[in-house]
Amino acid sequence: MSVIAHADRIQAPPGAAVRRRKSFLRRRSTVAFFMALPLILIVALLVLYPASYAVYLSTLNKTMERFVGFGNFLFLFKRDSFWMVVEQSVIFAVTAVLFKAVIGLVVAHFVHNLPAKGQRKWRGMLLVPWVIPPAMSTLAWLWLFDPSYSAFNWIFAHFGIDPVPWLGNPYWARFAVILVNVWVGAPFFMIMYLAALKSVPDQLYEAAEIDGANWFQKLWYVTLPMMRNIISITVLFSLIVTFANFDIVRVLTNGGPLDQTQVFATWAFRLGIESNDIPLGASVSLFMFPVLAFAAIFILRDINRRGNEA
């Protein structure tokens, strides 16, 4: 501490400290912090505490009596079944997010170009798959894909088409879980992209038109750059959520056939809860955390930089 600062403190009249405290409490950032405090406490209690506890659990041995450090992760790295789950989770998440993004973009364009009068109804209807709890809608899908009584196969039979082993064949089963995930998640992309589309100034399209741009050039040079931040955030958010997906796989295939649709969350549940190996289950569920955190830091930094440039 400098001599001058020290002197200030000594010489400051008693009212100055009160004034400083008042001005601190009146600052916008202080008010904002206090207003956000309940939420911060809830997040700390419901997210940070369980996450830290999961990290702690992942460092214990099977009977949870001994600290093993990274032992559980090293054990997992040697298991073929774990790498199979990693591969399937990546296929599941990347494919599903890609399709959700493309379908969301296309549908958002359609809705955006609808006359304003009926647009709200379409928006409402298109959001239905996203609004229904996935465990419930997946049950309906299960009846459509049921191994023995599939409604799709029943329709196929009327056209003389052989039944499709939707959930009995590993490739069809993967297709089914991805399809349901896309069906549930695409409306979220649609609504986010629709909001982004509505914020693109019409003048930009008019200028592009004067320059003789066709529809693809307008999309490529105007729409997509203007939506870049929203696309990044939506893809990042969806990737995290899809990597952590549990309900769709659990209800539809339970990881089968032959574990060919297991993803991190279902495999973690099987090892941790059903097989009574909570530390190993915690390790499986935490495996993607550093990867996704790393991706999140880069994507958010990129968004921030573009925001500053703007």
Min. distance of Cβ 158 from other proteins in angstroms?
A: 19
Contacts (CB under 8 A) with other proteins, residues 172-201:
173
Told to check if 273 binds other proteins by CB under 8 A, we report yes
Min. distance of Cβ 290 from other proteins in angstroms?
A: 23
Residue from the set 162, 202, 274, 309 that interacts with other proteins by CB under 8 A: 274
Cβ distance to other proteins smaller for residue 75 or 175: 75
Residue from the set 83, 276, 294, 300 that interacts with other proteins by CB under 8 A: 276
Told to check if 59 binds other proteins by CB under 8 A, we report no
CA distance 247 to 245: 6
Contact between 192 and 127 under an 8 Å Cβ cutoff? The reply is: no
Told to check if 61 binds other proteins by CB under 8 A, we report yes
Cβ distance to other proteins smaller for residue 199 or 276: 276
Cβ distance to other proteins smaller for residue 91 or 164: 164
Residue from the set 182, 208, 249, 280 that interacts with other proteins by CB under 8 A: 280
Residue from the set 59, 95, 232, 254 that interacts with other proteins by CB under 8 A: 254
Cβ distance to other proteins smaller for residue 126 or 142: 142
What is the binding site for other proteins (CB under 8 A)?
61-63, 75, 79-81, 146-149, 165-168, 173, 253-259, 269-270, 273-278, 280
